[in-house]
Structures are given as structure tokens and as C-alpha cells.
């Protein structure tokens, strides 16, 4: 059985509390909105596609794993972000869904490696084991391409697939490099981010029980981010009511 990083056993993958649900909702919204709005622009400017998926995705996955300290939350984040992005874009062809399955697989592998009990996530000083996290990012980034390569091999055949090997090598190097960059940036801001984020329960006019999530302390971050999320948990059901994301340069 997997354990959280505080040593508690995980009873169920789907036993989400309100705090975890809030984080998944906010991070999914950030990932999806960035992919839809910034992804095409960055792709046209740099002629490099998948920058948001690779960089921002692995950046958010490490933060999610560290803040929730439970297996399965990163997997849910990658599933929601990958599938909703394709749904919003109204993608009918098979190819984008193959790519989406690759990001889901990458998120699951990262989740698996991060919470596997015997792996050396931290050193004796309770600091991140940089080498291990980079290896986890590398392995999960490579797994993203498994569905894509299988798709190419099936439809192109062996000989054409071999001829396109340089293209695949470039895709592997580009994608994994962005994964590693996202992980490195995430590790660098993690201590400040954990000190800046706070949760508290409050009552709102239209909800019996609400959760108020705020990432504040702008001056402690290179780029301040303030997120307010209201969740309605009336009658045991959680409904996303409102989310406001504002950026402030300190």
C-alpha cells in the first residue's frame, strides 16, 4: 500500500477531502487555460509545440504532490487537464487523444515514483533529493511518448517508422528537457510557496460551507499569484462555484 510522505496509509485513491479537491480544481484550471490560450501562441512564435503541457504540467504536478502528500492526486490532475483540453477544443480525430493519453500516463508514472515508499525522495535533512526528482521527471517524461510512438509505429509501419527516428529523437529530447525545466523551477519555489499558501473555512452568502484558498505573500514570490476558490459542500456534494486568479508582479 502506498503511503503519504507524512507516513499515513492511503485508504482510497478517490477519498478526496475539500482541500485536495480545491487544489486539483485550481491547478487543472491553470493548466487548461494556459494550454488553450498560451499554447498556440508559443507554438507559433517558437515553432515548438507542447511547451505548456511539458513545462507547466510538470511544474504543477510536483507542487500538487508536495502539497497533498497523497498518491493519486497528480494522476487526477493530469487526467482532468489532458481530457478537458481536448474536449474544449472539440477534437474529433484520434491523434490528439493519443497525445492526451500520453500525458495521463506521464502523470501517473510521476505520481507512482513520487510516492513509492522505498524511493529516496528526501535526504536526511528532509530536503528534496534533486537527483531522484530529476530522474522521476525524466522517466515520466519519456513515458509521455509511449502512446505517440505506438500510434506512429502502427500506422506508418516498421520501415517508415525507422526512417523517422531523427524526428522522434528530437521530440524526446525537447519534451524531456521541458519536463526537467518545469521540475527544477518547481523545486526552486516550493519552500516559499508552501509558506505562502493558506487554507481556511469560511461562510459565504450562497453556500452553507465554503473553502477559501488564497496564495498570498506576494513579496515572497518572484511573481505573486492570488487564487480564491469557493466550493459548495452542501449535502455532501462539492460544486465548483467561482474561481478568481489574479497576478501581481512584486
Chain centroid to Cα 204, Å, comes to: 29
Per-residue pLDDT of the chain (250 residues; tens, 9 = 90+): 455 555 555 445 557 888 888 889 999 999 999 988 888 888 778 777 788 889 999 999 999 998 888 889 999 999 999 999 888 877 678 888 999 999 999 999 999 999 886 666 655 445 667 888 899 999 999 999 999 999 999 999 999 999 999 999 999 999 999 999 999 999 888 877 776 665 544 434 433 334 444 444 433 333 333 344 433 333 333 333 333 333 333 3
SS3 4: coil
Work out whether the CA dihedral 28, 79, 118, 184 comes out positive or negative.
Answer: negative
Q: State how far the Cα of 18 lies from the Cα of 191, in Å rounded to an integer.
A: 23
SS3 7: coil
For residues 215 and 193, is the Cβ–Cβ distance under 8 A? yes
Work out whether the CA dihedral 26, 31, 32, 36 comes out positive or negative.
Answer: positive
233 vs 102, 206, 212, CA distance in Å? 33, 11, 12
Report the helix count and the strand count for the chain, using DSSP H and E. 9, 4
Closest C-alpha to 35, from 53, 23, 19: 53
pLDDT at 28: 93
Closest C-alpha to 241, from 200, 208, 197, 216: 208
pLDDT at 120: 61
pLDDT at 214: 45
Cross-strand bridge partners of residue 232: 239
| 180, three cell numbers | 526537467
Q: DSSP of 212-235, one letter per residue?
A: EEEE--GGGSSSEEEEEEEEE-GG
For residues 80 and 240, is the Cβ–Cβ distance under 8 A? no
Residues in Cβ contact with 81 at an 8 Å cutoff, skipping those fewer than 6 apart: 27, 28, 31, 32, 35, 57, 103
| 87, three cell numbers | 474536449
Closest C-alpha to 88, from 35, 49, 30, 147: 35
Amino acid at each position: 500500500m502506498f503511503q503519504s510522505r507524512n507516513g499515513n496509509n492511503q485508504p482510497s485513491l478517490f477519498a478526496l477531502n475539500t482541500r485536495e479537491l480545491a487544489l486539483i480544481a485550481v491547478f487543472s484550471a491553470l493548466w487548461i487555460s494556459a494550454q488553450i490560450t498560451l499554447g498556440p501562441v508559443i507554438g507559433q512564435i517558437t515553432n515548438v509545440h507542447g511547451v505548456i503541457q511539458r513545462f507547466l504540467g510538470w511544474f504543477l504536478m510536483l507542487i500538487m504532490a508536495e502539497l497533498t502528500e497523497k498518491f493519486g492526486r497528480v494522476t487526477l490532475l493530469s487526467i482532468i487537464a489532458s481530457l478537458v483540453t481536448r474536449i474544449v477544443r472539440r477534437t474529433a480525430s484520434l491523434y490528439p487523444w493519443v497525445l492526451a493519453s500520453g500525458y495521463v500516463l506521464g502523470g501517473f508514472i510521476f505520481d507512482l515514483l513520487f510516492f513509492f515508499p522505498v524511493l529516496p525522495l528526501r535526504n536526511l535533512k528532509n530536503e528534496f533529493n534533486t537527483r531522484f526528482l530529476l530522474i522521476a521527471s525524466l522517466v515520466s517524461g519519456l513515458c509521455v511518448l509511449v502512446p505517440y510512438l505506438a500510434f506512429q509505429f502502427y500506422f506508418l509501419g516498421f520501415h517508415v517508422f525507422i526512417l523517422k527516428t531523427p524526428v522522434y529523437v528530437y521530440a524526446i529530447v525537447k519534451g524531456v528537457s521541458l519536463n526537467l525545466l518545469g521540475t527544477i523551477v518547481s523545486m526552486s519555489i516550493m519552500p516559499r510557496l508552501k509558506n505562502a499558501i493558506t487554507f481556511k473555512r469560511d461562510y459565504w452568502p450562497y453556500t452553507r460551507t465554503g473553502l477559501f484558498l488564497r496564495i498570498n505573500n506576494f513579496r515572497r514570490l518572484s511573481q505573486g499569484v492570488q487564487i480564491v476558490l469557493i466550493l459548495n459542500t452542501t449535502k455532501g456534494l462539492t460544486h465548483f462555484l467561482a474561481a478568481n486568479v489574479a497576478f501581481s508582479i512584486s
